[in-house]
Structure 1
Amino acid sequence: VLGVDRVTVVGHSFGGGIAMQFAYQFPERTERAVLVSTGGLGPQVTPLIRMLTLPGAGLVTRAITAKPIRPAVASGLRSLSQLPLMAVRDLDEAADVYEKLADPAQALAIRRLAKTVVDWRGQFVTMRDRAYLTKLMPVLVIWGHDDLVLPVDHSQNLPSMSTSEVHIFERSGHFPHKDHPEAFTKLLIDFCSEKAPAPYHRGKWRSLLRRGEQPVEINDIAEAAKKRSKPKRADYDVTATSASSSSAVS
């Protein structure tokens, strides 16, 4: 519809995991990936999110977002966020989430979303086991040094790749794009202009999926194919369908 065949995918927090999942499933559509304070790189996460997954969380959220106290709490959070203290830097964003929890439908959606990746112990979904699939893809990891939602140490947990780089914003929390909008935008534009789009080759992508972290070079695939006798048409169709299904699931 838009006439755009390939894109640079940018994801923040939970969206970072979605961005990587998109890159895994649609490498032919992905040129680069940018992960901003992303989930999926370690179990640690703020206790406030873990609490949303506990039994009875719905009753608690209804109580603390009751109409008589809601305006005062939201206003207090936003006022505290103006203080020059690291611990309260992102409370204005927390106030927005707090107000959404007052809506039963939105509260249910937020709790269900949290439960898909977090339990009382922390994050249980990881992107590290499939990060090798982006070895040929430029990846930019951006984090705020004072992030209290997902610790900045997670920025070092993405397996080392020659195509990846990490940028840490000082005096920034979980929303570096909000704390330093101009510098963030410049960083993103420079990354897209300086890093060539990831190449895509269907045969090499299949080899990555089949062999894990030991990719086979394209030339090796071609040589191996020459040594095998040409399969029957029916067998070839079945094999191709099976491989395509595996790629989609992964």
Structure 2
Amino acid sequence: MASAANSGNPEIGATIRGNGIDTNYHDEGSGSPVLLLHGSGPGVSAWANWRLTMPVLAKRHRVLAPDLVGFGYTERPEGTVYDKELWQAHILGFLDALGVERVSIVGNSYGGGLAMALAVNHPERVEKVVLMGSAALHFEITPALDEIWGMEPTVPAMRRALDLFAWDRSLVTDELAEVRHRAFARPGVHEAYAAMFPEPRQRWVDAMASDPKDVARVQQPTLVIHGREDQVVPLSASLEIFGLLPHAQLHVFGRCGHWTQLEYADQFAEIVGGFLAASR
């Protein structure tokens, strides 16, 4: 059973129990369902990641944006081992709890890795896929991603991490760093984050990746989006997956880092909305 929260914190939406985990999520609009999967940045939540995207897509779709287990305001059960299998099970359990059989998925970075894993392993549940700065294939970990996954919960470290995410420095303010730091410093949040990505961190890039042979068999229409100046996940990762997918489109934003959905919010929502609306 879903329940709504009235905390005044926009990051907190409704709660539903999916795969045995109390899951914080946002549910906006009506129509064909679209699942938004956030990235793995420190202090991230579905709302922080998708706050500019949700209201636009919700004009034509039912938009579902959960905090995945280990992130945001979703329950973090003691002793949880975080891996791709758990996150896939959590996503499917979340959809089952809502009675949603099939969705289009928009995945950001780590969320893109999960979107592709679901298309590979559970194709019957996936209508279309959008991959944004996606960690869906093997790549050599970037210094920026290594630093972000290993960061400590301090304001200067958060400011540095935000600088690595965005090409447009006007988006990175001291106020934003303070807000994201407070989210990251909440009890249990940094501890869960550290448990997900301990050194050596290349193994976690590899653990999120799908096998290229499996990717090449994916039949869902897929839109691949990337920022040309992305320091976190290299553009080459999206070029490679675009070359493998049989039914793919590619859009690269110049003068853009890892935050396509924030740096080019209007264009991103328009491109994604058009892709989702198009017939197969």
User: Does the alignment reach a TM-score above 0.5?
Assistant: yes
Structure 1 residue identity aligned to 2:152: T
**Residue in structure 2 matched with residue 160 of structure 1 by the alignment:** 244
Structure 2 residue identity aligned to 1:157: E
| SS of corresponding position for 1:123 | helix
**Structure 2: tracts of 5 or more residues without a match:** 1-96
CA contact (8 A) 1:37 1:143 kept: yes
Picking from 101, 112, 116, the partner of 2:195 is 112
Question: Are 1:124 and 2:206 counterparts?
Answer: yes
User: Matches of residues 17-166 of structure 1 in structure 2 within 5 Å?
Assistant: 17-51=113-147, 61=152, 65=154, 70=155, 73=156, 86=167, 88=169, 91=172, 97-103=180-186, 105-115=188-198, 119=201, 123-125=205-207, 126-129=209-212, 130-134=214-218, 136-158=219-241, 159-166=243-250
Q: CA RMSD in A?
A: 3.5
**Residue in structure 2 matched with residue 192 of structure 1 by the alignment:** 276
Structure 1 CA distance, aligned partners of 2:189 and 2:226?
27
Structure 1 CA distance, aligned partners of 2:171 and 2:233?
12
Structure 2 CA distance, aligned partners of 1:89 and 1:195?
37
How many percent identity over aligned positions? 27
**Structure 1: tracts of 5 or more residues without a match:** 197-250
Q: For structure 1, which segment, 144-153 or 158-167, has the greater mean C-alpha deviation from structure 2 after superposition?
A: 158-167
1:35 Cα offset (Å): 0.6
Structure 2 CA distance, aligned partners of 1:87 and 1:182?
15
Structure 1 CA distance, aligned partners of 2:143 and 2:127?
35
1:161 Cα offset (Å): 3.2
The structure richer in strand per residue is 2
Structure 2 CA distance, aligned partners of 1:121 and 1:2?
33
Structure 2 residue identity aligned to 1:160: L
1:74 Cα offset (Å): 7.6
Structure 2 residue identity aligned to 1:142: I
**Residue in structure 1 matched with residue 41 of structure 2 by the alignment:** none
CA contact (8 A) 1:10 1:36 kept: yes
Structure 1 residue identity aligned to 2:216: Y
- Rg comparison, structure with higher value: 1
| SS of corresponding position for 2:128 | strand
Per-residue Cα deviation, 1:88-113 (whole angstroms, up to 9, x for no partner): 57745776554444335111221222
Question: Are 1:180 and 2:264 counterparts?
Answer: yes
Structure 2 residue identity aligned to 1:182: D
CA contact (8 A) 1:33 1:140 kept: yes
Q: Normalised by the size of structure 1, how large is the TM-score?
A: 0.58
Structure 2 CA distance, aligned partners of 1:51 and 1:104?
22
Structure 2 residue identity aligned to 1:155: S
Per-residue Cα deviation, 1:180-214 (whole angstroms, up to 9, x for no partner): 11111111111122241xxxxxxxxxxxxxxxxxx
- Number of matched residues? 177
Q: Normalised by the size of structure 2, how large is the TM-score?
A: 0.53
CA contact (8 A) 1:34 1:141 kept: yes
Per-residue Cα deviation, 1:202-234 (whole angstroms, up to 9, x for no partner): xxxxxxxxxxxxxxxxxxxxxxxxxxxxxxxxx
Structure 2 CA distance, aligned partners of 1:169 and 1:26?
30
**Residue in structure 1 matched with residue 56 of structure 2 by the alignment:** none
| SS of corresponding position for 1:5 | coil
| SS of corresponding position for 1:61 | coil
1:14 Cα offset (Å): 0.6
